[in-house]
Amino acid sequence: LLIFTDLDGTLLNSDDYGYDGAIRAIADLQQQQIPIIPVSSKTRAEVEVLSTEIGLTDSFIVENGSAIFIPPHQDYLFSEEMKIAGKYYFRQRGCVYAQVRDGLRDLSAAIGEDLTGFGDLNIADIMQLTGLSEPEAQRAKNREFTEPFITPHHVDPERLAHQVKALGFNVVVGDRFSHLIGDQAGKGGAVQWLVNRYQQVNRGESITTIGLGNSPNDLAMLEVVDIPIIIPGIKGVHPGLTNQGWKVAPFPGSVGWGVAVAEEVKGLSY
Ligand code: 2M8
């Protein structure tokens, strides 16, 4: 069993980024040696610090599936297509930050609307928009592969997506922002790649996967796992995730995460 989880609004509460409600379930999963793999819009810098804080030690997927990082103790997952970054092995699937920054400028020109990305914002702006602390905002701005930008609400999302595709990128919608990502990125493909690695090292033995998410950028991940679970927001399931017929956790944020995972995995309390 592998657990793939989004962070903001899923394992972490939307309002305070806390994870209290999931602590028991996480401890129980760890006791059963079930990997918990973050799959986030967040940067490597952010996920590294959060994983350490929460006590997660497995591989992780950053910036909407742009890269998969494998820690040294999981070197059995290494494959020839991977490179080394610091102490990690990593597999890049997206483009690099300079490309999405150029992409955002071209997109602004194409739709005739000035789009504001993290690269245009200072730390104080990011803190104000997200509620992150100063060091957290610094790590959020430390981007390697994707550009979050303020969703232009008066631009038709289909028109925006069409222009993005024409420029050779993809756009996904997260908790608070839209994200310009490489056309090979996306959470679904990254999860599938890592599941394949696990399957290869387990000699084809079948592996059950659970995925948890709350926003449209999680759709691709939820589609490729065996057991998709939606974490609702305070106002209910995100409109972009309704009508899927998937399990919906009974509560928002970390509490919903803990309860829903305990319902699926035998021997778990919450
Ligand atoms: C951005 O990501 C979230 C996740 O869905 C969003 O779109 O609301 C990213 O910039 C991430 O790096 C950052 O930590 C987060 C803060 O709210 O916002």
Q: What pLDDT was estimated at residue 203?
A: 87
- Would the CB of 175 count as within 6 Å of ligand 1? yes
- Would the CB of 147 count as within 6 Å of ligand 1? no
Q: Is the pLDDT of residue 148 over 90?
A: yes
**Interval 59-69: pLDDT, tens:** 999 999 999 99
**What percent of the chain stands above pLDDT 90?**
94
3-state secondary structure of 227: strand
Task: Decide: 1 and 58 in contact? Cβ < 8 Å.
Answer: no
Q: Is the pLDDT of residue 268 over 80?
A: no
Please, what is the average pLDDT of the chain?
A: 96
Order of strands across the sheet that contains 247-248: 36-38, 2-5, 209-213, 227-230, 247-248
Q: Is the pLDDT of residue 243 over 90?
A: no
Report the length, in residues, of the chain: 270
Q: Which residues are catalytic?
A: 6
Q: What share of the chain is helix, strand, coil (3-state, %, to 5)?
A: 40, 20, 40
Q: What pLDDT was estimated at residue 238?
A: 96
Ligand 1 centroid distance, CA of 40 (Å): 8
**Interval 165-215: pLDDT, tens:** 999 999 999 989 999 999 999 999 999 999 999 999 988 788 999 999 999
Query: Against a cut of 0.90, is the pTM above it?
Result: yes
Report the residue among 5, 6, 7, 8 best suited for mutation to probe ligand 1: largest number of ligand atoms under 8 A from its CB. 8
Ligand 1 centroid distance, CA of 12 (Å): 12
ipTM of the complex: 0.96
Query: Which residue lies with its CA nearest to atom 2 of ligand 1?
Result: 41
Antiparallel, parallel or unpaired: β 2-5 and 209-213:
parallel
Spatial distance between the Cα atoms of 103 and 180, rounded to a whole number of angstroms: 8
Ligand 1 centroid distance, CA of 254 (Å): 17
Q: Is the pLDDT of residue 74 over 90?
A: yes
Look-up of token digits 């899927």: 244
What torsion, rounded to 10 degrees, do the Cα atoms 249, 253, 256, 261 define?
90
Closest atom of ligand 1 relative to the 176 alpha carbon: 8
- Would the CB of 132 count as within 6 Å of ligand 1? yes
Q: What pLDDT was estimated at residue 237?
A: 96
The Cα diameter of the chain in Å comes to: 55
Nearest to 22 by CA among 265, 260, 264: 260
Mean pLDDT throughout 151-167? 95
Closest atom of ligand 1 relative to the 136 alpha carbon: 14
Sign of CA dihedral 52, 180, 256, 25: negative
Q: Is the pLDDT of residue 270 over 70?
A: no
E strand or H helix at 15 = none
Predicted confidence band of residue 269 (pLDDT cuts 50, 70, 90) = low
